[in-house]
Amino acid sequence: MAAVSCPECGQPAHAEDRFCESCGLSLLLRRTPEGGPQGARRSTCVSCAGRVDAEGFCERCGRAQPAPRDRMEFDFGVVAGVSDRGRARVRNEDSMACAVVGPESAPAAVVVVVCDGVGSTERADQAAQTAVDAALARIVDCLQAGKDPYESTVDGSAAAFEAVELLAEPTSPDLAPSCTLVSAVATEEGVTVGWIGDSRAYWLAGADSRQLTTDDTLHAQLVAAGLSDEEASAEANAHALARWVGADAEPGLPHVVGVPPDEPGTLVVCSDGLWNYLPTAESIAARASGSPARVAAELTAAALELGGGDNITVVAVPYPFHSRRSAGDE
């Protein structure tokens, strides 16, 4: 019999309980908070370990401490993620959201959304956050209403479009914040990945490791059509986004691919801050081992070591996730 406890108050609960009897928390859905998984405010300085005051400055050396958005982390056991500002950008314009649907002892679905604010637009961070929140909420609603992962993925993308469009300033179309979108729904029927833009999903499975997504760029389309990397790169604007989410974008269906349920592996969903440095599934797989939290942290650390030129977001989901239950659950 599975032993579970309420993640909020710690009281024991039965595996089939829908709500915690002590505090009322829903035990059938754990998700990152709307607005982003904010890292806890630091109490000690990142550089000298001095005490940090209420305004976020070190009392000893005066250094401003990184804002929670600069480094976001979450760990639900079956899925974990890290989003980091990197070394070159002034703010983190990526965001991520995640939900685990079903009882903690036997999740029915893991849902992940990663968005990367398009750097040339105002409020790109807001676009990314709005999109992950809208897509995650819609995908979870759809799954709980009995829709299949494909429909849920398509609806989630539509919800992101609707929400991000509302951020545009009607008087100046240039001020239409926009972002990329990649989502993943893992259930016992397999993994369904949907995307618009150049944030990616990879499947890490030894010799069968591969990139699941194809970037919405001219470069990727030319390579898919048979050109070499060099030939494709020679085209003007080869790496410019062909599709994105925003009021100034053509709405349309996301690309969708699946991984069958009988293929064990680890799903990695990421922004280009990771794949700029580790572009191939093999190069990512070589640095991904251990728990999802470790995979996300180590891949982020690798991108930082290699330059950290962009915001970096990495979410990892080992599959099938049921086998990740801790020993002794029987």
20 binds Zn ion (CB under 5 A): yes
46 binds Zn ion (CB under 5 A): no
Query: What residues does 255 pair with on adjacent strands?
Result: 195
DSSP H helices, the chain, are: 124-144, 149-165, 218-224, 229-233, 272-275, 281-285, 292-305
Integer angstrom CA distances of residue 153 from 39, 133, 186, 274, 291:
28, 14, 11, 23, 26
9 binds Zn ion (CB under 5 A): yes
The residue among 15 and 25 lying less far from Zn ion, judged by its C-beta, is: 25
The residue among 46 and 205 lying less far from Zn ion, judged by its C-beta, is: 46
Query: What residues does 44 pair with on adjacent strands?
Result: 51
- CB 20 to Zn ion: min, Å: 3
- Selected from 6, 78, 134, 269, the binder of Zn ion by CB under 5 A is 6
- Selected from 15, 38, 50, 283, the binder of Zn ion by CB under 5 A is 50
52 binds Zn ion (CB under 5 A): no
User: Tokens 């990512």 — which residue?
Assistant: 284
The residue among 63 and 324 lying less far from Zn ion, judged by its C-beta, is: 63
- CB 49 to Zn ion: min, Å: 7
Exposed, middle or buried by CB within 10 Å (0-12, 13-18, 19+), for 224? exposed
| Among the listed residues 61, 60, 85, the one whose alpha carbon sits nearest the alpha carbon of residue 72 | 85
| Among the listed residues 249, 239, 151, the one whose alpha carbon sits nearest the alpha carbon of residue 194 | 151
306 binds Zn ion (CB under 5 A): no
The residue among 103 and 254 lying less far from Zn ion, judged by its C-beta, is: 103
240 binds Zn ion (CB under 5 A): no
4 binds Zn ion (CB under 5 A): no
- Selected from 3, 61, 240, 306, the binder of Zn ion by CB under 5 A is 61
Identify whether the C-beta of residue 113 lies closer than 8 Å to the C-beta of residue 157. Answer: no
48 binds Zn ion (CB under 5 A): yes
Stretch that binds Zn ion, among 41-49, 69-77, 216-224, 317-325 (CB under 5 A): 41-49
The per-residue b/e assignment along 36-61, b for 16 or more CB within 10 angstroms, e otherwise, is bbebeeeeebeeeebebeeeeebeee
220 binds Zn ion (CB under 5 A): no
The residue among 13 and 285 lying less far from Zn ion, judged by its C-beta, is: 13
Q: How far apart are CA 149 and CA 107, in angstroms?
A: 15
Binding stretches for Zn ion (CB under 5 A)? 6, 8-9, 20, 22-23, 25, 45, 48, 50, 58, 60-61, 63
